[in-house]
Every structure is written in structure tokens, then in C-alpha cells.
Amino acid sequence: MKNLRVQAKARQAMNSKKIVVVGSSNTDLILRVPHIPAPGETILGGKFLTAPGGKGANQAVAAARAGGSVVFVARVGNDHYGEEAVAGFARDGIDVSHVVIDKRAPSGVALIFVSSRGENSIAVADSANGRLSPADIKRAGAAIREAKMLVLQLEIPLETVCAAAAVAASRHVPVILNPAPACPLPDELLQKVAVLTPNETECQILTGIKITGESTARKAAASLLARGVGAVIITMGKRGAYVATPQEDRLVPGFRVEPVDTTAAGDVFNGSLAVALVEGQPLSQAVRFAHAAAALSVTKPGAQSSAPRRKAVDKFLKTTL
């Protein structure tokens, strides 16, 4: 494992536009079912598979495959799942020198139902993810301060998210926060966020405003901007993403594809968005790039396994102009 870390770190040194992702790593236990079971319902499933996942890990892998130079800050257990996860990150060229092997907690696990329509239902045991601490952030401080972008989610302790955002803010490093799973967030954190990327449900939890279309999305985005967020991107499924800044707002349409599995589509969107923004793409163009990557991801099963390579995203964009 040490050699994998050294090789991945060497590859990262070749690219100065570094993206640091701080977040969770899970192993997904996936069961395909005719429909998502209701409370108390038992149904016979179909194919079962195990795959690497976790919102932080998914976003790190998506960013790396989209062409980013990625450092991942996380915790995994001292077990088979953890070993396989770290080996997978290294194979994707991710710097894993700040992935801590936790000897007191197992690796995180997500139980996922995927319906025949591509919908999913997920429950997560955070395990080692719940032990990612501000002390881990301090140890990774140099990497965060030297980054061009910091990407965060909420499958790790909120105090750790806040600590990472504070380190980034000390060197004016832009922060993308994907507020999932959603919970109330302090304004002190939101004021350090350059781009907030909730989906419709998460946006309602954060603002109390139910998103039913562009008018309600505009109202919710305005509420978040007033709390100090630099830009808001509300992902709205097939309708696209509502993008708002203090200067402008608009709906950026998505791409229509036949979904196979929507697991991690939002993570692929966020990882790819980070790459596009670090490359200097304007916000709306970066969102279109992220839409393309997410659209490709839902045509394949799994989380990290569905994240497309940069060549595929560029080709998709060229053929859909």
C-alpha cells in the first residue's frame, strides 16, 4: 500500500491545479429490486454486487477521471474494504497520503436499493467516516492551503467540514460544498462557501422553501446568497440546474438519457464541476460540463464505477451541441 501512495503522489506533483476533496469513503452493497420497498415490505431482489462508494470518494474519483489532480482526505477501516478502497483511489491517480487507516472503526458501508427505473434508496453506516476529525484536517492543512479548490460534503462530522472550510478560507481557496445528506448549517460555514450545490430536497431542508420550478428555485437561491454563499447551484434532475450568483441567475438545462442507475450522479456532477472551475471555465459552462459527466454516469451501474473519463465527457459534449 505504501508504494501505491508514493506512485499516486508522484503523479499528482505533475499538475499544480490541485483539488482537495475531504469526505467519506464507503463500500456500497447494492441490491437491484423491481421497486424501492416501502416500510415493512419485503421483496425478492435480483442481482447483488459490492462496489466502492461514499460521497467524498465518489467525488474524488469523478474529479480525477475528469482530468483533475486530486488529493483525498478521509478515513477507512483497517480491513479488506479499506484496503480495496485505497488501492482503487491510487489506481485513479489520487493522492492518498492523507487517507488515514483507522484501527478503531471499520470502513463505512452503504446499503443501496436500485429499482428497475434507476431510482435508488440508500442507508449509510458511517463507521470510520465518523471519526474524520479536525486533527486530520490540521495534518492535511498544507495540502488544503495549496489547493485551487476544496470540495466538501456532509457524510463526515460537521465540525470537520467547518475546520476544513476555515483552513481554505485562510488562504482564499474556493470551497464547493455539496450539502448532502442535508442538515442545518451555520452561516459561519456558508460564508466560506464559494459554490453550494444542493438538490431540490436538500435545498428545501436548508431554506424551508419547496422547489417546484424556477420561481421557487430563485427564491431559495436568494435566501442562501443572503446568508453569504458565493453562488448556488440547485440540481433539479431532468430539468437541469438552477444557477444563481449575486449578479445573475438562470436555468442551465441538463441532458436527457435513459437512466440505468442514478447512484452517485450528484457526486459525479460535483467532482466534474470542480475540475471545470479549476480549469477556468465560466460557471454556466462548468455546470454544462458537470451535467454531461452526470448524464453519462447514470447510464452505467454503480457509484465510482459509473464515473466517466474526460475523453468520454468531451466526446459527449461535442456530439450534443
Amino acid at 273: L
Give, in degrees to the nearest 5, the angle at Cα 178 between 211 and 266. Answer: 75
The rounded distance, in Å, linking the Cα atoms of 59 and 35 is 27
One-letter amino acid for residue 128 of the chain: A
Cell 441567475, residue?
249
Residue 253 cell numbers, joined: 438545462
CA dihedral 211, 212, 215, 219 (to 10 degrees): -20
Which residue out of 126, 136, 267, 314 is catalytically annotated? 267
For residue 29, what are the CA distances in angstroms to 115, 125, 296, 320?
A: 14, 11, 22, 34
| Euclidean distance between CA atoms 162 and 190, whole angstroms | 9
Closest to 136 in 3D by CA, of 24, 263, 57? 24
79 catalytic? Reply is no
Strand residues in the chain grouped as ranges (E): 18-22, 26-32, 48-53, 69-77, 95-102, 108-114, 120-125, 149-152, 175-177, 195-196, 231-235, 241-244, 249-252
Are residues 155 and 130 in contact, defined by beta-carbon separation less than 8 angstroms? no
Q: Which residues are catalytic?
A: 267
